[in-house]
């Protein structure tokens, strides 16, 4: 049986689950699948993909650094059902110049009312070629003034200080601020792009580069890219700046500003080994190249899994490769998330939880069991803490976000760490070999297709549980996916994972004795972080000074460690740390560091609030809109 490329009906999820691997078109590169289940419904798109859907996007855009916008055309290939008369696209603030068909004939369109979160629908009346025939819709447009997916950087915000820079961040629903398409993870699309930028800037994208850049006059060059595998549109990404490339292995490399390229390449030497390890576990890497770009420090995340071009914060560079779990994570998304993608934002665990587990398997294979056991202990403990803090019956601690609450408000640990613990628990009960076989099959069967929690559970029951009542009971599947809190069958971490550090932390708590500088220096990044997390909430200035003197915390090259030190210092109103915190907050825009540091200042009340306000006034313009949104809330920013 061939699944037609377009099926204007809603099939039941069970039909999908019952198909065998041979039935499904997952291996068919570039043939975008349709939404096949009611669970695939995405409330964050205006698109009605069972009537008319975009299958391919061709972008032809100029990067306008002065105007801080992109401008050009998007040519969309559309497949429409027999009786469809219009197609609905997502937009958020786009400035539309006109819409035509592939022959240049103008098409009627209306722009609906804007909703703060989703943006506004563009409804295009299709031309004569309705019906199953494919047709093209050409949108001439520019991004609006506050396009949230794009961050335009002044030269001062780059390492070189000489050239501007821009990067995009599509996840979750931001790409509609610069690409007029159907912006829903279940509506996969192939794409190509031609992007022009002023010399000497280089453009990279989350697609394979085609040919050499071409001179196009006015001191500009054009760069071409193509992604022949269908992807969820949030994974279309670009970056442009004064960047160079360093090869890491036969299929991997790194882009960065020349000032950071050597350090970046040195930090990333394990990349090829990670790809090999990942393939051993879950099958072939299906995207061709695996390159990365190390962005300027205002990038708001640790990493973003843009296909063939992972985006990374420069703050992961520690000089000793201690934070490269981040790379294992983004690489793992090449299977969980990019190859098989949730179709609803409510199924966050299918992307992030499965990825966190897969990350730990890659870590185990490349760096050994001890480091993996330590990272598992950290995950388990942050989950247990988050559950304790939020309450075990808090709906925000469910892996599948229940109706009535926003998937964007879910407790992060309930997606990432609960996912890890869930998969680890299944692995322990089912046995690694059998569980790996199931997961490998999951990726094969649904390659380049959307997936849902219901599909995952149905297939697991069909293929692994297979009517075994005892196994069904032991797994507690529904409780994990739909329930809140931490299910009782969760596999606990190895108590030995951090034995030495935990003893040292206990000793410090009892009589203030600190580990020697030598002991501290011999610890892994994870061990140092564990120790700092176990410091007492309240500490005196003398204690903090002694801690810093003995362990050299304010001189550490590891930003994860520096962050924990600054957080402890600010929480305790430790004045000597303020200048360094100020520098750090001015340089770094990574939300994970920035938001908690402002929170720590704010929570101290009259001591820290004026400091927070003073620093934020300076640093706010340099932050990404996402980071800004979070800190605005913490400090009650009103401009």
The footprint of ligand BES (CB under 6 A) covers 171-172, 301-305, 325-326, 329-330, 333, 352, 416, 592
What's the closest the beta carbon of residue 357 comes to Zn ion, in angstroms? 11
What residue 303 binds from Zn ion, ligand BES, none (CB within 5 to 8 A, per partner kind)? ligand BES
**Is 189 within 8 Å of 195 (Cβ atoms)?**
no
Element (DSSP H or E) covering residue 215: strand 214-217
CB closer to ligand BES, 237 vs 455: 237
Torsion over CA: 483, 337, 28, 84 (sign):
positive
List Cβ neighbours of 334 (8 Å cut-off, separation of 6 or more): 278, 285, 286, 287, 290, 305, 307
CB atoms within 10 A of CB 536: 11
**Contact positions with Zn ion (CB under 5 A) in 405-424:** none
The tally of CA atoms less than 13 A away on the side-chain side of residue 588 is 27
Give CA 247 to chain center in angstroms: 24
What's the closest the beta carbon of residue 333 comes to Zn ion, in angstroms? 6
CB atoms within 10 A of CB 482: 13
Nearest position to ligand BES, beta carbon: 302
Name the one range near Zn ion by CB under 5 A: 317-325, 350-358, 557-565, 569-577: 350-358
CB closer to ligand BES, 330 vs 527: 330
Q: Tokens 């329930």 correspond to what residue?
A: 483
How many residues bind Zn ion (CB under 5 A)? The answer is 2
What's the closest the beta carbon of residue 110 comes to ligand BES, in angstroms? 30
What's the closest the beta carbon of residue 149 comes to ligand BES, in angstroms? 11
CB closer to Zn ion, 339 vs 547: 339
CB closer to ligand BES, 171 vs 449: 171
CB closer to ligand BES, 55 vs 336: 336
What's the closest the beta carbon of residue 336 comes to Zn ion, in angstroms? 9
The pairing of strands 95-101 and 238-241 is unpaired
What's the closest the beta carbon of residue 529 comes to ligand BES, in angstroms? 13
The pairing of strands 449-451 and 340-342 is parallel
> One symbol per residue from 226 to 255: x for binding Zn ion (CB under 5 A), - otherwise; what is it?
------------------------------
List Cβ neighbours of 116 (8 Å cut-off, separation of 6 or more): none
Per residue in 93-130, is it b (16+ CB within 10 Å) or e — as a string? Answer: bbeeeebbbbeeeebebeeeeeeeebbbbbebebbeeb
Question: Distance between CA atoms of 152 and 500, rounded to whole angstroms?
Answer: 46
What residue 304 binds from ligand BES, Zn ion, none (CB within 5 to 8 A, per partner kind)? ligand BES
What residue 592 binds from ligand BES, Zn ion, none (CB within 5 to 8 A, per partner kind)? ligand BES
- Two tokens, residue 56: 């391919």
Give CA 524 to chain center in angstroms: 25
What residue 628 binds from Zn ion, ligand BES, none (CB within 5 to 8 A, per partner kind)? none
Question: Distance between CA atoms of 503 and 55, rounded to whole angstroms?
Answer: 57
**Is 50 within 8 Å of 34 (Cβ atoms)?**
yes
What residue 493 binds from ligand BES, Zn ion, none (CB within 5 to 8 A, per partner kind)? none
219 CB burial (10 A radius; 0-12, 13-18, 19+): exposed
Q: Tokens 């989950």 correspond to what residue?
A: 383
Question: Distance between CA atoms of 38 and 21, rounded to whole angstroms?
Answer: 21
CB closer to ligand BES, 242 vs 351: 351
What residue 171 binds from Zn ion, ligand BES, none (CB within 5 to 8 A, per partner kind)? ligand BES
What residue 301 binds from Zn ion, ligand BES, none (CB within 5 to 8 A, per partner kind)? ligand BES
What's the closest the beta carbon of residue 303 comes to Zn ion, in angstroms? 7
CB closer to Zn ion, 355 vs 360: 355
What's the closest the beta carbon of residue 328 comes to ligand BES, in angstroms? 8
- Two tokens, residue 360: 């730990």
- Two tokens, residue 438: 């199931």
Catalytic residues, by residue number, are 330, 416
Q: Tokens 């730990």 correspond to what residue?
A: 360
**Contact positions with Zn ion (CB under 5 A) in 169-198:** none
CB closer to Zn ion, 120 vs 352: 352
**Is 37 within 8 Å of 11 (Cβ atoms)?**
yes
What residue 95 binds from ligand BES, Zn ion, none (CB within 5 to 8 A, per partner kind)? none
What residue 201 binds from ligand BES, Zn ion, none (CB within 5 to 8 A, per partner kind)? none
What's the closest the beta carbon of residue 392 comes to ligand BES, in angstroms? 23
Question: Distance between CA atoms of 449 and 187, rounded to whole angstroms?
Answer: 9
Question: Distance between CA atoms of 237 and 214, rounded to whole angstroms?
Answer: 20
**Is 24 within 8 Å of 445 (Cβ atoms)?**
yes
Question: Distance between CA atoms of 572 and 588, rounded to whole angstroms?
Answer: 22
403 CB burial (10 A radius; 0-12, 13-18, 19+): exposed
**Contact positions with Zn ion (CB under 5 A) in 351-370:** 352, 355
CB closer to ligand BES, 165 vs 301: 301
**Residues near Zn ion (CB under 5 A):** 352, 355
């Amino acid at each position: 049986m061939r699944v037609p490329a377009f099926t204007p009906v809603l099939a039941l999820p069970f039909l999908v689950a019952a198909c065998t691997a041979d039935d499904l078109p997952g291996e068919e590169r570039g043939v975008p699948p349709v939404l096949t289940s009611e669970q695939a419904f995405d409330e964050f798109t205006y698109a009605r993909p069972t009537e008319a859907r975009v299958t391919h996007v061709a972008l032809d855009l100029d990067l306008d650094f002065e105007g801080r916008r992109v401008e050009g055309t998007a040519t969309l290939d559309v497949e429409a059902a027999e009786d469809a008369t219009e197609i609905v696209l997502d937009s958020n603030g786009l400035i539309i110049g006109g819409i035509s068909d592939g022959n240049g004939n103008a098409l009627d369109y209306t722009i609906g009312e804007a909703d703060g979160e989703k943006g506004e629908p563009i409804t295009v009346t299709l031309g004569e070629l309705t019906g199953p025939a494919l047709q093209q819709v050409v949108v001439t447009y520019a991004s609006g003034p506050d396009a949230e997916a794009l961050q335009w950087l002044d030269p001062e915000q780059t390492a070189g200080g000489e050239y501007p820079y821009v990067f995009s961040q599509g996840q979750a629903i931001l790409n509609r601020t610069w690409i007029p398409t159907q912006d829903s993870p279940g509506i996969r699309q192939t794409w190509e792009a031609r992007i022009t930028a002023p010399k000497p800037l280089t453009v990279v994208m989350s697609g394979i580069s085609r040919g050499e850049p071409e001179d196009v006059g006015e001191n500009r060059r054009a760069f071409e890219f193509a992604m022949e595998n269908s992807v969820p549109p949030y994974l279309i990404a670009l970056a442009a700046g004064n960047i160079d490339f360093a090869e890491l292995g036969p299929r991997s490399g790194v882009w960065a500003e020349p000032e950071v390229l050597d350090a970046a390449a040195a930090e990333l030497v394990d990349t090829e080994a990670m790809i090999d390890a990942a393939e051993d576990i879950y099958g072939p890497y299906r995207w061709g190249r695996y390159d990365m770009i190390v962005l300027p420090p205002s990038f708001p995340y640790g990493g973003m899994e843009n296909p063939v071009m992972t985006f990374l914060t420069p703050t992961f560079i520690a000089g000793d490769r201690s934070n490269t779990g981040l790379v294992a994570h983004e690489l793992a998304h090449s299977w969980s998330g990019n190859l098989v993608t949730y179709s609803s934002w409510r199924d966050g665990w299918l992307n992030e939880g499965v990825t966190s587990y897969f990350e730990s398997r890659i870590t185990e294979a490349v760096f050994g069991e001890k480091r993996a056991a330590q990272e598992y202990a950290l995950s388990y403990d942050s989950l247990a803490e988050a559950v304790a803090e939020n309450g075990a019956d808090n709906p925000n601690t469910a892996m599948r976000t229940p109706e009535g609450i926003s998937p964007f408000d879910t407790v992060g640990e309930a997606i990432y760490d609960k996912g890890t613990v869930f998969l680890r628990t299944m692995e322990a009960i089912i046995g690694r070999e059998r569980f790996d076989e199931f997961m490998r099959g999951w990726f094969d069967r649904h390659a380049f297709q959307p997936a849902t929690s219901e599909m995952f559970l149905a297939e697991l029951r069909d293929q692994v549980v297979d009517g075994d009542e005892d196994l069904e009971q032991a797994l507690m599947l529904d409780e994990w996916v739909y329930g809140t809190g931490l299910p009782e069958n969760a596999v606990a971490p190895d108590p030995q994972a951090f034995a030495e550090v935990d003893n040292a932390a206990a000793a410090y708590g009892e009589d203030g004795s600190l580990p020697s500088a030598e002991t501290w220096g011999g610890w892994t990044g994870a061990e140092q972080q564990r120790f700092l997390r176990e410091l007492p909430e309240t500490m005196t200035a003398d204690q903090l000074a002694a801690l810093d003197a003995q362990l050299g915390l304010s001189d550490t090259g590891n930003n994860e460690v520096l962050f924990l030190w600054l957080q402890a210092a600010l929480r305790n109103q430790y004045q000597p740390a303020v200048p360094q915190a100020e520098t750090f907050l001015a340089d770094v825009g990574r939300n994970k560091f920035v938001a908690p540091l402002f929170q720590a200042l704010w929570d101290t009340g009259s001591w820290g609030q004026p400091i927070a306000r003073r620093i934020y006034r300076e640093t706010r313009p340099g932050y990404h809109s996402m980071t800004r949104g979070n800190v605005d809330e913490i400090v009650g920013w009103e401009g």
